[in-house]
Homo-oligomer: A and B are copies of this chain.
Amino acid sequence: MIENSQQRRMTRQRQVLLEELCKLRTHPTADELYLLVKKRLPRISMGTVYRNLELLTGEGKIRTIDHGGMPRRYDGDVKPHLHVQCTKCNRLVDVMEVELPTQLDDIKVPGWTITGQEVIIQGICDQCQGS
């Protein structure tokens, strides 16, 4: 858990991490991102990657996608949109052509404050169709 701090610093690591993630239209795992950022900052550590991913998510600058198939994925696009995930290979892909069902915005639960939603459509991707 990262505590709320008033004074936040834009370190080179944080900067580069954010840049690299936003550059992608895929949804890398922490590890994939680590390898990517490592090319520019060879001494960066996994700890820093995880800490910054959590922090940036908290600030609303990126999105953490918690989903099936263990390793978390991250998304540089915070605009609400749908994801499809392959139940065979766990590939996670944007679906920009389809709108998020508006019905979801209207959902109310007594006693709860609704803040968002996570919708993951499941299926078999084109590459896994044959197997």
Contact = CB atoms under 8 A, between A and B. Distances in A.
A91 to B, nearest CB: 10
A126 interface: yes
Contact of A68 (B66, B69, B110, B111): B66
Given A66-B68, A67-B118, A126 B103 contact: no
A67 B69 CA distance: 10
A94 to B, nearest CB: 10
Given A95-B109, A101-B104, A104-B101, A123 B118 contact: no
Given A104-B101, A125-B112, A118 B68 contact: yes
Contact of A124 (B66, B103, B112): B112
A114 B121 contact: yes
